[in-house]
Amino acid sequence: MSDLPGRIAIKEEGPREGFQFEKGEIPTARKIALIDALSGTGLRQIQLVSFVPAKNVPGMADAEQVVAGFTRAPGVAYTGLWLNERGLERAIATGKLDIRGHLNLTASETFLLRNQKRTLAENLEALHGIAAMYRRRQVPMDRISIAAAFGCNFEGDIPVGVLLAQVRQMLAVAREHGFEVRTLSLADTMAWATPLSIKRVVGAVREAHPELQIGLHLHDTRGMGIANAWAGLEMGVAQYDAAVGGLGGCPFAAHKGAAGNVCTEDLVFMCEEMGIETGVDLEALLEAARLAEDIVGHPLPGAVKTGGSLRTLRAGIAAAAAA
């Protein structure tokens, strides 16, 4: 257990995940209220919106208004997501976001062919265009990511060798365009990972690329999210994407399909109890999670917002003992 990090960094993706996933229309002011609540929790990075065509993702039609309306807190990086130059232009035009590029590949060719009508080779080629775009627009870029890194609903298990080849290819593209990569994010997009595969894959990647920091983006569709995060912690992984309340999908009746990211407050709870710093005020985050639940209007899967933190219980016990 000596590999446990002393501190982790969490990228909060709940607003973007939630607003683009939820079926009903969420008023812009409510989106802003959630972002402002999250700003006060100690989270250092919050992804607010995606800049994608409204016809594809109706819940993101008000991306510019959301960005215009929230209040920046000092020390917090506010990011957006884009898939092409038009999206990047929109993000830059807000004048209010922290613009950071990254390169992404998908480990599964079958998935790529189905969703983007591209082969892996074509996808790799497209990365050159994206890297050139970042260079041209002077966007900093030090992160690469791989989607479906642990398995794919259409292709099945992903051999570690395929991942490692993709990492090498992305590093080469970045280098060619003058970028130095510091972080590799592995996304369990379709929730195929188990703690054992997390350990195996992270171990193999770290052995091949000890210079890279590894991040994990974990989906909870099969209930493995927190266990996979713990397996990551055991491997020394210190960067996690997460979504407040578990926003971004829901295993309950009215919400079929994939569940959202691992739940931020459950992750913070686990870390806090184990002495791993997150910089987050758990009680404030639980308030934000309850607000998120109120905004979407249905139960969200996070457990600690209902189960309660232990810090509160300990404080009550200590107060009773002192009385």
Name the residues that contact its own copies, by CB under 8 A: 1, 4, 151, 153-157, 191-192, 194-197, 199, 220-224, 226-227, 229-231, 251-253, 256, 258-259, 263, 266, 269-270, 273-275, 299, 301-304, 306-308, 310, 313-314, 317-318
Contact in structure between 185 and 217 (CB atoms under 8 Å): yes
Those residues whose C-beta lies under 8 Å from the C-beta of residue 35, and which sit 6 or more positions away, are 15, 46, 48, 66, 70
Matching residue, tokens 């052995």: 207
> Active-site residue numbers?
250
According to DSSP, residue 277 is labeled B
Residue whose CB is less far from its own copies, 208 or 315: 315
SS3 state of residue 201: helix
Q: Where are the alpha helices (DSSP H) in the chain?
A: 14-21, 28-39, 63-69, 85-93, 109-116, 120-136, 160-176, 195-208, 225-234, 264-273, 282-296, 304-307, 310-322
Dihedral, CA atoms, 129, 131, 135, 139, nearest 10 degrees? 120
Pick the closer one to its own copies by CB: 18 or 302. Answer: 302
If the CB atoms of residues 52 and 120 are measured against its own copies, the closer one turns out to be 120
Least separation in angstroms between CB 302 and its own copies: 7
Instruction: Considering the complex, state which of residue 75 and residue 308 has its C-beta at the smaller distance from its own copies.
Output: 308
Residue 21: CB minimum distance to its own copies, A: 15
> Shortest gap between Cβ of 156 and its own copies (angstroms)?
5
Q: Between 41 and 221, whose beta carbon lies closer to its own copies?
A: 221
Closest CB 124 distance from its own copies, rounded Å? 23
Per DSSP bridges, beta strands 101-106 and 213-218 are unpaired
Q: What is the largest CA-CA distance in the chain?
A: 69
Question: DSSP secondary structure string, 57-98?
Answer: -GGGTTHHHHHHHS-PPTT-EEEEEESSHHHHHHHHHTS-S-
